[in-house]
Amino acid sequence: MATFFQSVRQGFGRGGNNKSNNPPKSPAQSSTPQHQATMSNSPSISSSLSVETQANDPEGPKYFFQEKYAPLNVRGNFLTLCACPKNVELGEWLAHQIVEQYRLLHGMLQVIQEVNSVTGLPICNENTCPTMSAGRLTYTWLVDGRAAKISAPKFINRVEKWIVSKIHDPVMFPTEKVNGTPETSAIKEANGASTTPSDPANPDDWIGKSSGFPPTFYKDCQGIMKQMFRCYAHLYHAHWLNPFWHINKHDVLNMCFVHFVTVSKYYGLVSDKEMEPMQPLIELFIKQQRVPPEALNGGHWAQQAAT
């Protein structure tokens, strides 16, 4: 009986209606990368080259991987938002985290889905993004067992629908009362039987079991987070400059992404290999401890063992 998660889901509308497209007013235009950019690390490129040109060049510098372009609009430790409270079952907590991460990502995706009144097209459209790319990497979509290259807006639309359907799937994310007496996490911890992501010694136990989540729950969470990561990778590689930098929303994007990475690492939800396209920025966030050290090296389970 995922009562905690039920209360979370009640505040989550199908498809989301979070209108957060009011960008903060851009500060003085002199702070745009066009003016700040120095070409010191690429002497062969003419200094008159615009940032736009470089941004479209997969070989060009990635501004979002540079420390000076990676501010956040908040201070504080994301661990406090991500660590599972003692009185909440881990499955319920993960379900809550998934919904929260989707809410944040959806807000960022709405920024590139905004329709330009002149062209009548969204910022991310079939022409700008004919494939779901992140730098030189292209993500494909499985159609009848075959990997198909579809445009980024199509890919993102399908991912969003898929995630929303998962969140509203009563089997994967149950909110109905289930029979039996749920174990409390406190009892589990006392018995030393806390569930790890893969616990071969205890195949009859799984994350979320006591709250009525299915055995595949943790794997499903990983699948959802992987697709969310791909959306972030596209947001950065294809749209960091336009529109996020131009409308001064890159710091909000960073805030959402640091939060996402912290949760992913803390609960082992997205593999390091999958995260490769964003590795330089993730390393920067780790160096700055914006992704807290507790989220690394075993994260949740290491923290549990240590207390």
Annotated binding-site residue numbers: 124, 129, 234, 239
Joined tokens for residue 176? 């109905």
Nearest approach, Cβ of residue 80 and Zn ion (Å) = 33
Name the minimum Å distance from CB 290 to Zn ion.
25
CB contact burial 206-241 (16+ within 10 A = b; e otherwise): bbbbbbbbbeebbebbbebbbbbbbbbbbbbbbbbb
Of residues 124 and 228, the one with the C-beta less far from Zn ion? 124
Residue 153's alpha-carbon distances to 5, 201, 204, 225, 298, in angstroms, are: 30, 43, 41, 18, 35
Annotated binding site for Zn(2+): 124, 129, 234, 239
Strand partners, 230: none
Query: H or E element: which one contains 226?
Result: helix 217-239
The residue (of 1 and 238) whose beta carbon lies closer to Zn ion is 238
Tell me how far, at minimum, the Cβ of 152 lies from Zn ion, in Å.
4
Least Cβ distance, residue 148 to Zn ion (angstroms): 17
Q: Judged by CB, which is closer to Zn ion: 160, or 294? A: 160
Is 216 in contact with 222 (CB distance < 8 Å)?
no
SS3 of 283, please?
helix
128 vs 196 by CB, closer to Zn ion? 128
Name the one residue in this structure whose structure tokens are 């950065």. 236
Q: Smallest distance from the beta carbon of 274 to Zn ion, in angstroms?
A: 19
Nearer to Zn ion, 54 or 185 (CB): 54
- Contacts to Zn ion by CB under 5 A: 124, 129, 152, 238
Q: Are 99 and 91 in contact (CB under 8 A)?
A: no
